[in-house]
A and B are shown apart, each in its own frame.
Chain A
Amino acid sequence: MSAEQNSPEQRRRKHPGSLAWLRSEQGAVRTRSVGRTVVKVVGLAAVLFWCLFPFFWLIMTSLKQGDRALNSPDIFQGPFGLGNYENVFDQNFHLNLRNSLAIAGMTTIICIIIGSLAGYALARLPLKRKILLLSGVLAVSLFPPVALVPPLYEVWRTVGLLNTWEGLYLPYTAFTLPLTIFILTTFYASIPKDLEDAARVDGATPFQAFYKVVFPLAAPGVFAAAIIIFVTAWNEFLLANTFAPRNPEVAQTVPVAIAAFTGQVEFQRPIGTITAACVVVVIPMIIVALVFQRRIVAGLTSGGLKG
């Protein structure tokens, strides 16, 4: 790849240009740019509609009161109120949020730490049979999850991991590591080799070269991986529903709690509470994702190259 031919100085100088090439164009031809603006606005509107329209339905439904409003196809049929949100928090939902936050957080931290090491080794260090290793790593995540559950349940029961945070974030880490390793391997591999060599010439050990030079440069990949791990662990249902199906005080996670909501009477579907809980869950997730994502986009421009 020709990217590798760039010296560090060139990269630093030109990198912000990934946005600059757009800007340099905007002033080019005025008449063309009006047409482009229209296309952009229309395109943006389409994107927003695609993404937000179902979410809008979700919010409207979560605000509706009473069975009939909830089940009406007309999203503006009232009465409206916050009753569903009250119901959600009556069911110890804040404890579920705490559990999910802890479990997804731990999964992310462990995954990034040990996945970074493995990814770097696979991308940069001499190891035998890398393809085989990569395949083995991938294979881990491919077994149908539902078939993993009965044997794991027996082991977890014996070891005492049922209804614990560890019982969830350990398997989450194991099953998310393949994705982490693949993402990070890709990103480490895309970082110019000469940067590292330069660091070595300056007397850095391979480990120093890794965490002072390579790791910061891989920041977009690391943060992308972190969001993905976090969201995957946060949304996981099958294992959570098997290993910690009840008791928000201990380890029941958010998706399990939402799926366990019941109506007032047998058979009734608690669509209002479900949608309200969903909105409650999505808002902090968006904040987390936005913060991380800013790091993805800002990664290379503000990050390293100083070491």
Chain B
Amino acid sequence: MRRDGRAYVAAAGALVLVGVACTPGDDDNGDGEGGEIVWAIGGAEAQPGGVHQSVAELWNDENPDNPVRIEQLPEEADQQREQQALELQAEGSNFDVLGVDVIWTGEYSENEWVESLEDVRGEIEEASIPGAFESATWGGELWAAPYNTNAGFLYYRTDLVDQPPDTWEALCDQAVEVSQSEDIGGFLGQGARYEGFVVNWLEYYWSAGGELYNEDQTEVLFDTEIAAQATEFMADAMENGCYAPGFNTAREEEGRNEFQQGNVAFLRNWPYVYSQVAGDDGSPANGNFDIAPLPTFTGQGTVSALGGFNNAVSAFSDNTEAAKDFVVWAATNEEAQTMLATEGSVPPTLESVYEELSDDPVMQVLGEILPDARPRPPAPEWNQISVEMQQSLFPAVNGDADVQSAVESVRSYLEGTVQ
């Protein structure tokens, strides 16, 4: 008995210890109290001081009964989606408004995670940029309200290049030339194996006249010849010094840093780079760079892949009406959308803002390219398609796989998605 008694004492001691360490103040578990709208959105602009916070404050001034509170998600898109998915999969009501990446629309609607916005379609469609609006629809139905968009530019050094190139070939010629004469890198984009690679590849492919699907995504229009041309162009650029060293491991920040350090002459990147370089007094590029629409293979027009986030209303929200009001307001309110351009690093989706701010160099170029910019298909299977394209095309670009069989396998994968 005494022996067992000691064991009990030890066990009881352990239990006490367990009891002692209690989580502090579990007051705020995220359930929207009263009229509160919880907005689950991620990235730099969602942190205190970010523009999403300013937008929320603006709304709260006007709607004190239904204040918006931001639940800040991580920086990386995959992780944002994962955190939203865990909550929505459990049919949790902790999130009312979801910041939805333009490529998730179809998936969220297929899973019935978001409310249809068909009843407010009219005013949103009228106000928004067409590409951004398209990215918020799937199956002919509107699932989210556009909020911010993003499009790629060509950044170039005005002290090293006279004219921004019209064609990809001209770009590479100049890049090779500058990199030889100046002993710096030529051109950088997003060449690492991730979603950004697909974005970059699509810009080559689209600008050569390629398509993925027809309008309502019932038929595959993937052209293997054009795809091979785009892929071979990238593979050549890897070889001949057009792409700067490290292209195939570069994401947004690698490119931005190299350009800002003065190590590359050309850069494909999003608008956020502009203010970073222009605000860096020590940068060799500062004062010596400009932005232009991306080149094409024909020399005509420009195509950029769209990024950005739309706001959707969670299907499990217990504050649906107020949440819907908020997402419509955020898409159409001029003051809020203007803030995105003036305070934030994420371009607005409201068309009228671009006319108003056309003096701003970034907004001017954006206004020029956004009408032709394209969303990646917001299909439910986009993530699978993207992974498949990365698996096939990335090795081909790096010379580790045959170009022709790579594009064939992408085509056959796409065909498997439309039956």
Contact = CB atoms under 8 A, between A and B. Distances in A.
B36 interface: no
Contacts of A247: 28
Contact of A114 (B14, B72, B270): B14
Contacts of B79: 241
B21 A206 contact: no
A169 B44 contact: no
B43 interface: yes
Interface stretch (B127-135, B180-188, B223-231, B275-283): B275-283
Interface string B334-358: 0000000000111000000000000
Interface stretch (A132-140, A157-165, A187-195): A157-165
Interface stretch (B158-166, B213-221, B255-263, B376-384): B255-263
A264 B272 CA distance: 10
Contact of A267 (B22, B25, B47, B272): B272
Contacts of A157: 90, 92
Interface residues of A, number: 45
A200 B46 CA distance: 66
A125 to B, nearest CB: 13
Given A206-B3, A260-B75, A267 B253 contact: yes
B415 interface: no
Given A66-B280, A207-B3, A266 B23 contact: no
A7 interface: no
B261 A268 contact: no
Contacts of A208: 3, 6
A72 interface: yes
Contacts of B272: 265-268
B300 interface: no
| B interface bracket (residues with beta carbon within 8 Å of A) | 35 or more
Given A245-B74, A246-B71, A266-B45, A109 B17 contact: yes
Contacts of B261: 68, 71-72
A246 B26 contact: no
B83 A245 contact: yes
A118 interface: no
A249 interface: yes
Contact of A207 (B7, B29, B74): B7
Interface of A: 66-68, 71-72, 102, 105-106, 109-110, 113-114, 117, 150, 153-154, 157, 163-166, 169, 205-208, 241-242, 245-247, 249-251, 259-269
Given A106-B18, A266-B270, 19 more contacts: A66-B280, A71-B261, A109-B17, A110-B17, A113-B13, A150-B89, A153-B86, A153-B90, A154-B90, A157-B90, A157-B92, A241-B79, A246-B73, A249-B24, A249-B28, A260-B74, A263-B44, A267-B252, A268-B272
